Structure 1
Amino acid sequence: MKKLLLIVLPFLTLNTFGYTPQDKNELKPRIVILTDVSTWETDDSESLVRLMVYADRFEIEGLIFTTGWSLSETRDDFLQLIHNAIDAYEKDLPHLMKRSGQSGFLEDESRQLLGYWPSPDYLRQRTMTGSRKRGMEFIGKENVSEGSNWIIKQADEIDDRPLWILVWGGGNTLGQAIWQVQQDRPEKELKAFLHKIPTYAITDQDRS
């Protein structure tokens, strides 16, 4: 197996992307979240709430449930915790939309401008599970998941913006996506894929 490349960048803030509240005609930065949200570690649930409050600043392309430091296998009931955050977002959305005077949602919610609040259905359609088991040793043909396929699909979209991968939990869903591209594409296309997905990982939660 070729060595997987993970580009680790400094902590991402709004200023990292170079946007200010005045950039109303700018497209949002694209992000995919890998989260090991659980009932016994509440940090990711709290982070999801904070993310929803700033959903007008990011084009959230994926909310992928993964393994993590204290979660060796994913659990279907924990995926619901992401949906709980989206449900709470839906309740507060009428108030949040007052910030930008938004009164409805676009039929096509791709290529969102800063200040646009995505619909709850848009977020639900992008919520899924990644690798079921934790660790580098599981990466391979038996580890393909909806999450790894989704990362590839989003990175392949015709869009000049990078697809920021924010790893709150384990990273082997991303590692799996890279492995799949390695198997199917020549070296030049692999490099182009890696160039498209700058990544910030909080810590090495599953050694991938």
Structure 2
Amino acid sequence: MNNFPNSLLLLFLIFSCIGCKEPNQTTASKIKEKARTIITTDGEVDDVDSFIRMLLYANEFEIEGLVYSSSQWHYKGDGKGTEFMSEMPLTASIYGKRTELRWPGTNWMEELIGKYGEVRENLLLHAQGFPTADHLLGLVKVGNIDFEGEMSKDTEGSEWIKAILLDDNPSPVFLQVWGGTNTIARALKSIEDEFKESAEWEEIYQKITEKAIIYTVLDQDATYKKYIAPNWPEVKVIYNSDQFWCLAYPWPSRVPEKLQQYLSGDFFSEHILFDRGALMAEYYTWGDGRQIENDPEHHHGDLQSMRENNRNQYDFISEGDSPAYFYLLDVGLRSHENPSYGGWGGRFIQSSENPNRWEDGENVSDFNFYTGKQDATFPQTRWIKELQHDFAARAAWCVKDFASANHPPQVSLKHANDLTAGIGDLVSLSGTATDPDNNELTFLWWQYLEAGDFKGLVQIQDKDAAETSFVIPQEARIGDTIHLILQVTDNGFPALTRYQRVIVTVS
């Protein structure tokens, strides 16, 4: 796995959930292994929408912290009139010196969790493990918010992160960065300050670097480069600098026309916004007439602005931070084992400068079969239809009973996920699937070419069958890997998809 931690395979089994209701035995999914995660956010409009969708998946990971933080785009100020100039060239040129910047406050997460509390009982009709609203409220903490990149003092949020990183649970903790890294940086700095001169330092350092995994969307302050990278170079980092744009503000220029229907106002008005309960009613879209207080740059709700930007009413605005938790969803693609495998949270390669850092960018592209070209955004874009259908299904769970909603198929293999075969050998593949709603299922086997070492195409027989085969090509070399995806989709409404990945190593 090339320096990505083996401990990712040990995501712990949750036998009980603090504050969780005893689930109905007819629900679609069982309590299973969950990734531990802490979310840090600066409260941009796209953070709010990412947060709303995240709550619909709150049963899929172990949320251990929800922390307000700042960024180059949002900070509170110190209340003393202190002027601040951004360290980031772009925002320095836009805003100059400021005493505060577009600060959305520190109660919006609590308000949305309250709305989640209104629909939780219905969500539990469909899947186990949704935490109570009170449990989530206890995880909300205020981190370092005074200024962009402020990490000079301990805060409730930084101390919470510190305590989680130092606890006795060795399972990985995924630190999602939706704004700046400064509150995480402060937690690490506090650990360093407390232990660096002690006999425990080597053990503590190793513990943290084996445990902390940062998934960051851009650098939205300078604290990663200035503090984390030089002082904690072995902390694992997944850095999404490009792929997220297909789910962010400029999506019309990144998403192929055929897929734009899933981000359209028609899709959102039919599946997300209306008659979907209290939580989904809070989701921001273009032309919805709403305005975040103290953020004049949230103009998207204004109809005139909508027209000037060539958008339609209720079109998607942005969820640029959602890939950080899409990465944690176990849909069978195994991307949690290695970021280079690719999945709903994107595909990344190991940095040549830091083996503990995984990046996207111009060197990480997938073939975009809509445009016929290599595309640096397509490792994320390729999943938009499936992601949006899944979102629509979860939104329906907020209000519908089990029989009236759709639930994903359960897919498995009749053999190991990892196989070996020699050049010229016939490789037989066999999958199976069931559907909790007794929907009809379609099977599709395809090669994820870019995820494997072998860069030639294999000829898959019977692509649409549960059982298929292919021959290892003569051009393959010993040690090459070939990634095959079994994709199973039901015919419910909306149609839902799950997967299994087989990795064949040429021997």
Cα distance, 1:93 vs structure 2 = 0.7
Q: Which of the residues 42, 50, 55 maps onto 1:52?
A: 55
Q: Which of the residues 120, 129, 132 maps onto 1:93?
A: 120
Could you report, residue by residue, the CA deviation over 1:110-129 in whole angstroms, capped at 9, with x for unpaired residues? Answer: xxxxx301011110011011
Structure with greater contact order relative to length (CA < 8 Å, sep ≥ 6): 1
Question: What residue identity is the alignment partner of 1:73?
Answer: K
Distance in 2 (alpha carbons) for counterparts of 1:57 and 1:72? 31
Could you report, residue by residue, the CA deviation over 1:181-206 in whole angstroms, capped at 9, with x for unpaired residues? Answer: 11111133123113211010101111
Q: Give yes or no for the alignment of 1:204 onto 2:214.
A: no
Bigger CA radius of gyration = 2
Task: Please list, as runs of the form range in 1=range in 2, the aligned pairs for 1:1-208 lying within 5 A after superposition.
Answer: 24-37=30-43, 41-73=44-76, 78-100=105-127, 115-136=128-149, 138-140=150-152, 143-185=153-195, 186-208=201-223
Distance in 1 (alpha carbons) for counterparts of 2:29 and 2:118? 27
Contact 1:79 1:129 in 2 (8 A): yes
Contact 2:69 2:145 in 1 (8 A): yes
RMSD over aligned Cα, in angstroms? 2.5
Could you report, residue by residue, the CA deviation over 1:94-114 in whole angstroms, capped at 9, with x for unpaired residues? Answer: 1101013xxxxxxxxxxxxxx
SS of residue matched to 1:116: coil
Cα distance, 1:157 vs structure 2 = 2.2
Cα distance, 1:152 vs structure 2 = 1.2
Q: TM-score, normalised by structure 2?
A: 0.32
Distance in 2 (alpha carbons) for counterparts of 1:27 and 1:66? 28
Following TM superposition, the consecutive aligned residue runs of length 4 or more in structure 1 with deviations greater than 4 angstroms are: 74-77
Cα distance, 1:49 vs structure 2 = 0.4
Cα distance, 1:25 vs structure 2 = 4.8
Greater fraction of residues in strand = 2
Distance in 1 (alpha carbons) for counterparts of 2:129 and 2:145? 33
Contact 1:134 1:206 in 2 (8 A): no
Distance in 1 (alpha carbons) for counterparts of 2:60 and 2:116? 14
Distance in 2 (alpha carbons) for counterparts of 1:133 and 1:206? 13
CA 1:70/1:135 → structure 2, altered by over 3 Å: closer, same or farther?
closer
Q: TM-score, normalised by structure 1?
A: 0.74
CA 1:23/1:182 → structure 2, altered by over 3 Å: closer, same or farther?
farther
List gaps (5 residues or longer) in structure 2. Answer: 5-10, 12-27, 78-99, 196-200, 224-507
Cα distance, 1:81 vs structure 2 = 0.6
Distance in 1 (alpha carbons) for counterparts of 2:35 and 2:219? 24
Distance in 2 (alpha carbons) for counterparts of 1:62 and 1:132? 16
Contact 1:29 1:58 in 2 (8 A): yes
Distance in 1 (alpha carbons) for counterparts of 2:76 and 2:160? 20
Question: What residue identity is the alignment partner of 2:116?
Answer: Y
SS of residue matched to 2:124: helix
CA 1:23/1:196 → structure 2, altered by over 3 Å: closer, same or farther?
farther
Cα distance, 1:88 vs structure 2 = 1.1
Distance in 2 (alpha carbons) for counterparts of 1:135 and 1:188? 32
Question: What residue identity is the alignment partner of 2:108?
Answer: L
Distance in 2 (alpha carbons) for counterparts of 1:197 and 1:164? 6
Question: What residue identity is the alignment partner of 1:33?
Answer: I
SS of residue matched to 1:165: strand
Distance in 2 (alpha carbons) for counterparts of 1:159 and 1:64? 20
Cα distance, 1:135 vs structure 2 = 4.2
**Aligned residue pairs, count:** 171
Contact 1:35 1:167 in 2 (8 A): yes
Distance in 2 (alpha carbons) for counterparts of 1:180 and 1:206? 19
